[in-house]
Amino acid sequence: MTLREEVEIRKTFAIISHPDAGKTTLTEKLLLFGGAIREAGTVKGKKTGKFATSDWMDVEKERGISVTSSVMQFDYDDFKINILDTPGHEDFSEDTYRTLMAVDSAVMVIDAAKGIEPQTLKLFKVCKMRGIPIFTFINKLDRVGKEPFDLLEEIEKTLDIETYPMNWPVGMGPSFFGIIDRKKRTIEPFRDEENLLHLDEDYQLTTSHAIESDSAFEAAIEELMLVDEAGESFDEAKLLTGDLTPVFFGSALANFGVQNFLNAYVDFAPMPSGRLTEEGDVVEPFDSAFSGFIFKIQANMNPAHRDRIAFMRIVSGAFERGMDVTLTRTGKKLKISRSTSFMADDTQTVNHAVSGDIIGLYDSGNYQIGDTLVGSNQKFHFEKLPQFTPELFMKVSAKNVMKQKHFHKGIEQLVQEGAIQLYRTLYTNQIILGAVGQLQFEVFEHRMNSEYNVDVVMEPVGKKIARWIENEEAITDAMNSSRSILVDDRFGNKVFLFENEFATRWFEDKFPDIKLYSLL
Ligand code: G4P
């Protein structure tokens, strides 16, 4: 296969949802179709007590939430599909954001009874900012939920995106009969999937069937006529710019509507796209020279080994195991001999990978999030991965002063992973951690203890407004006040942590020459 042919069969997406909407269940069903797993419950089995593939860490198991994103590849219909799972919990939205930088499309799972939930909204906005195509799966039709029209309207209004229903449900909950494929004009019955029914041009069943007199069926046909009358065509160009989302109804748990969804996904999802560099160029997937970037680092995936794995999205060229690459941040040349790909319940050595693929590199401390790796003699950096403005802060120190070495190593590694942000006070060098959500602190504390064997003392500094400074040289000691703390971030940039909005405004009024800014 040529590089072009290999890239053209790749599809890489992130799956996003509010916790409990059914993301894990849908992922599992997709993997079943891909033959990547053989039985349900392999990806997750909270109730069966089985270990979830996407939940690596103890803390995730304890809480039943997925803290970190995981990556899985499967083959379907001549395509190679990479799914990137994302943590549903909003405290880890920075991690999700970085994952979204590594994909070319997103699948949004919505619980039909709940509609758009806060976390969906937040993640969706991120997709919108990136302008990536979004596919919507409205889940749990086997339970009573909101009316389909109301759901579509909610998506359109809250998310400011056009919707295009690809199928239409007949009933829901106990009266759920099945889904109508709008293009094929077939009805797939929920309880008898093999026996497709067909609609003619006048919305009549081509063969007589008991449901004809059913009120749910009549209502669904009326609704379908309305949808068809509206006459909106399925605009692929709008899908590709993230301005229209195709909507699928189904039940992940019952594995119903999932394959229709997958078939449409492979038909319409884009192949891997290029990425911008800080130098202002676009690196295209077919460019023959290899390049990629690290969007995630995960420590200790296998408790038996103290491994760290850096996840790399390949942007261009072909990766071959054993190849020499350059880490552009440091200029260091590295030979990549230990590389892995991820399956549902397994990792495999990967010898060859191309644009769109995500591979894991065993890391002994070389990589940081956002690093660019290039082959041959290129020298550029992919655009920086976004960093969130943290809102919560904690002073942290080691309980036992004899453990300083482990303490600093733990902090350094967890910060490099992007698990938490690090700041230091100017004169006293006190370490202050910054987070987007409280759970990040809890995970930090847990991991310092379980992975680095250090008990930490955490002292809340509270909620602060962090502002970076464009013209740092203009800062003077006179600007210190009891309502702000001036700290260094881990790159040595100065940051004010203001007590509240009032203190921020007071500062801006008093020192108008100081240019403050926030991150995302
Ligand atoms: P998440 O990854 O988005 O957090 O959701 P997950 O797949 O874990 O699903 C959350 C719960 O919803 C699970 O229940 C799951 O079985 C259920 N679920 C998923 N898809 C469907 C569906 O199509 N129909 C119905 N009725 N339920 C669905 P659970 O964790 O086993 O237990 P519980 O939350 O029901 O107590």
Q: DSSP letters of 54-121?
A: T--SHHHHHHT---S--EEEEEETTEEEEEEE---SGGGHHHHHHHHHT-SEEEEEEETTT-S-HHHH
Closest ligand 1 atom to residue 18 Cα is 3
- Cβ–Cβ < 8 Å for 345, 42: yes
Quick one: what percent of the chain has pLDDT higher than 90?
A: 57
Q: Where are the domains of the chain?
A: 13-69+85-268, 275-374, 392-517
Region 313-319: what's the mean pLDDT? 97
pLDDT over 80 at 520, yes or no: no
pLDDT 10s digits, 63-105: 444 445 478 888 999 999 999 988 767 777 788 888 999 999 9
pLDDT, position 50: 36
pLDDT over 60 at 11, yes or no: yes
Quick check: CB of 47 below 6 Å from ligand 1? Answer: yes
Distance (Å, whole) CA 438 – CA 494: 24
pLDDT over 60 at 47, yes or no: no
Greater pLDDT, 229 or 432: 432
What architecture is domain 275-374?
3-Layer(aba) Sandwich (3.40)
pLDDT, position 86: 82
Region 146-153: what's the mean pLDDT? 96
pLDDT 10s digits, 361-385: 988 888 989 999 999 788 899 998 8
Number of helices (H), then strands (E), in the chain: 12, 31
pLDDT, position 213: 67
pLDDT over 70 at 201, yes or no: yes
pLDDT, position 482: 86
Region 22-42: what's the mean pLDDT? 77
Q: H helices within 231-288, ranges in order?
A: 236-240, 258-268
- 78 among annotated binding-site residues: no
**How many A from CA of 173 to the centre of ligand 1?**
15
Which residue puts its alpha carbon closest to atom 35 of ligand 1?
Answer: 20
Strands 275-276 and 282-283: antiparallel
pLDDT over 60 at 262, yes or no: yes
Long-range contacts of 42-46 (CB under 8 A, 24+ apart): 42/344, 42/345, 43/344
φ, ψ (nearest 5 deg) of residue 261:
-60, -45
pLDDT over 50 at 206, yes or no: yes
User: For all residues of the chain together, what is the average pLDDT?
Assistant: 87
Quick check: CB of 88 below 6 Å from ligand 1? Answer: yes
**How many A from CA of 175 to the centre of ligand 1?**
20
pLDDT, position 60: 53
SS3 content of the chain, % helix, strand, coil (to 5): 30, 30, 40
pLDDT, position 416: 87
What architecture is domain 13-69+85-268?
3-Layer(aba) Sandwich (3.40)
Torsion of CA 470, 476, 478, 482, to 10 degrees: 50
Quick check: CB of 238 below 6 Å from ligand 1? Answer: no
Query: Would you place residue 55 in the very low, low, confident or very high pLDDT band (cuts 50, 70, 90)?
Result: very low
**How many A from CA of 46 to the centre of ligand 1?**
10
pLDDT over 50 at 190, yes or no: yes
pLDDT, position 58: 54
Distance (Å, whole) CA 104 – CA 10: 10
Question: Span 392-517: which CATH code?
Answer: 3.30.70.3280
Which tokens in the block code for residue 395? 């002073």
Residue 281 host element (H or E): none
**Are 275-374 and 392-517 the same fold in CATH?**
no
- Cβ–Cβ < 8 Å for 119, 20: no
Would you tell me how many other CB atoms lie within 10 Å of the CB of residue 413? 19
Q: CA 138, 143, 147 angle in degrees (round to 5)? A: 60
pLDDT, position 46: 40
pLDDT 10s digits, 153-189: 999 998 889 999 999 999 999 889 999 999 999 999 8
Which residue puts its alpha carbon closest to atom 21 of ligand 1?
Answer: 253
Residue with tokens 């089995």: 45
pLDDT, position 303: 56
Which residue puts its alpha carbon closest to atom 30 of ligand 1?
Answer: 46
Q: pTM, whole model, 2 decimals?
A: 0.86
DSSP string, 342-390: EETTEEEE-SEEETT-EEEEE-SS---TT-EEE-TT----BPPPP----
Query: Which of the 8 DSSP states describes residue 340?
Result: E
Q: What is the distance between the terminal CA atoms of the chain, rounded to a whole angstrom?
A: 41
Pocket test for ligand 1, best of 15, 20, 90, 108 (most atoms within 8 A of CB): 20
Query: Would you place residue 208 in the very low, low, confident or very high pLDDT band (cuts 50, 70, 90)?
Result: confident
Query: Would you place residue 43 in the very low, low, confident or very high pLDDT band (cuts 50, 70, 90)?
Result: low
134-143, 288-297, 469-478, range with the lowest pLDDT: 469-478
Closest CA to 138 of 103, 164, 157, 174: 164
167-171, 239-243, 346-350, 360-364, range with the lowest pLDDT: 346-350
Quick check: CB of 464 below 6 Å from ligand 1? Answer: no
Quick check: CB of 140 below 6 Å from ligand 1? Answer: yes
Distance (Å, whole) CA 230 – CA 180: 17
Quick check: CB of 142 below 6 Å from ligand 1? Answer: yes
3-class DSSP assignment, residue 235: coil
3-class DSSP assignment, residue 307: coil
- Cβ–Cβ < 8 Å for 108, 136: yes
pLDDT, position 5: 96
pLDDT over 50 at 256, yes or no: yes
Q: CA 229, 234, 235 angle in degrees (round to 5)? A: 130
Closest ligand 1 atom to residue 250 Cα is 23
Query: Would you place residue 57 in the very low, low, confident or very high pLDDT band (cuts 50, 70, 90)?
Result: low
Closest CA to 134 of 16, 31, 29, 10: 16
pLDDT over 80 at 49, yes or no: no
pLDDT 10s digits, 459-515: 999 899 999 999 989 888 888 888 999 999 998 999 999 999 999 999 999 999 999
